[in-house]
């Protein structure tokens, strides 16, 4: 780590000044002057992230809307690559396993990784799936290099310490001409612009919007342009790249996390739901990428 804190995770520049101090200054967010990558100055234990999602009520697979989400991803894949049937699919950070269950129902041969014991138990009980707790960089997985037709990682990239290294490991798992699919939050949204404006206009006192983005589990939020660039660096060429409006949890959950089960929290949640109907957030990228065969 440099004298100025953690260097940029993408370009390794040490010129990355503090951009935000959140959660009572416990979380420091830096922005690289060289490439504008924005990340938390914190190295997490990826296998033991302190997350509220690590209880049964927080398993995203158990929430309404999961099947519609997977249907969109399947359409994106099949429009470009043909049917999932017969394909070998690896899901990294598989959560409760519902994407793998949907891919299996479409005829794919599936396996997945997941660190959360509660999610693994849910996948086992709900879908009869045995998820593996070993990281992608382990000998177990790297010994299976170039054996998968499709590697997916939904809402994972924001949680890893070294996103470029992670993407390269994922690319190694793909056979020549294989595909990767991902979803991850991006920061080129009206919500992020509003959050940054509120933070700077109040000299850091109004950081509550940005706290929905950065934390000790959300280690970075890409700009869409940076995301495409880093994927290309990892040898993954964009075939389909789209911004979508997608919340992991219902709106009211975010306000309960901030303010508890109070009437003001419920009222703010209703106001937020109305605003999001008027102005869709388009807060995530869902993308399909082909293994290009060469890294730059």
HEC readout, the chain: CECCECCCCCCCCCCCCEEEEECCCCEEEEECCCCCCEEECCCCCHHHCCCCCCCHHHCHHHCCCHHHHHHHHHHHHHHHHCCCCCCEEEEECCCCCHHHHHHHHCCCEEEEECCCHHHHHHHHHHHCCCCECCCCCCHHHHCCCCCEEEEEEECCHHHCCCHHHHHHHHHHHEEEEEEEEEEEEECCCHHHHHHHHHHHHCCCCCCCCHHHCCCCCCCECECHHHHHHHHHHCCEEEEEEEEECCCCCCHHHHHHHHHCCCHHHHHHHHHHHHHHHHCCCCCEEEEEEEECCCCC
* Class of the CATH domain delimited by 48-185+283-296: alpha beta
pLDDT of residue 247: 78
* Distance (Å, whole) CA 122 – CA 244: 27
For 264-275, what is the mean pLDDT?
74
For 233-261, what is the mean pLDDT?
82
Dmax (CA) of the chain: 55
pLDDT of residue 36: 94
pLDDT of residue 262: 75
Give the confidence band of 216 by pLDDT, cuts at 50, 70, 90.
Answer: confident
What residue ranges do the domains of the chain occupy? 48-185+283-296
* Distance (Å, whole) CA 186 – CA 32: 16
* Distance (Å, whole) CA 218 – CA 285: 15
pLDDT of residue 259: 66
Higher-scoring residue by pLDDT: 256, 21: 21
* Distance (Å, whole) CA 19 – CA 15: 12
Rounded to a whole number, what is the distance in angstroms from the first to the last CA of the chain?
Answer: 25
Share of the chain above pLDDT 90, in %: 71
Buried b (16+ CB within 10 A) or exposed e, 48-86: ebeeebbeeebbbbebeebeebbeebbebbeeebeebee
pLDDT of residue 12: 93
pLDDT of residue 13: 95
Whether residue 296 has pLDDT greater than 70: no
């Amino acid at each position: 780590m440099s004298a100025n804190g953690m260097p940029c995770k993408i370009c390794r520049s040490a010129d990355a000044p503090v951009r935000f101090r959140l959660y009572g200054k416990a979380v420091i967010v830096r922005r690289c002057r060289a490439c504008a990558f924005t990340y938390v100055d914190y190295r997490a234990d990826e296998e033991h992230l302190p997350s509220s999602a690590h209880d049964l009520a927080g398993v995203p697979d158990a929430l309404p809307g999961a099947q519609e989400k997977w249907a969109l991803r399947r359409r994106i894949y099949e429009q470009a690559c043909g049917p999932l049937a017969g394909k070998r699919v690896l899901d990294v950070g598989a959560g409760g396993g519902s994407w793998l269950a949907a891919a299996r129902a479409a005829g794919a041969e599936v396996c997945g990784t997941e660190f959360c014991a509660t999610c693994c138990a849910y996948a086992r009980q709900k879908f009869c799936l045995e998820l593996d707790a070993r990281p992608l960089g382990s000998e177990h997985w790297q010994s299976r290099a170039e054996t998968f037709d499709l590697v997916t990682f939904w809402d994972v990239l924001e949680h890893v310490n070294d996103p470029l290294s992670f993407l390269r490991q994922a690319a190694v798992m793909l056979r020549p001409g294989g595909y990767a699919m991902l979803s991850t939050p991006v920061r080129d949204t009206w919500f992020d612009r509003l959050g940054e404006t509120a933070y700077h206009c109040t000299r850091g006192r109004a950081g509550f919007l940005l706290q929905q983005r950065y934390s000790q589990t959300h280690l970075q939020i890409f700009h869409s342009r940076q995301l495409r660039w880093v994927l290309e660096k990892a040898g993954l060429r964009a075939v389909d790249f789209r911004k979508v409006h997608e919340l992991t949890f219902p709106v009211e959950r975010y306000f309960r996390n901030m303010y508890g089960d109070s009437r003001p929290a419920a009222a703010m949640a209703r106001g937020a739901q109305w605003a999001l109907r008027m102005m869709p957030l388009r807060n995530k990228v869902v993308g399909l990428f082909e293994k290009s065969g060469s890294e730059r």
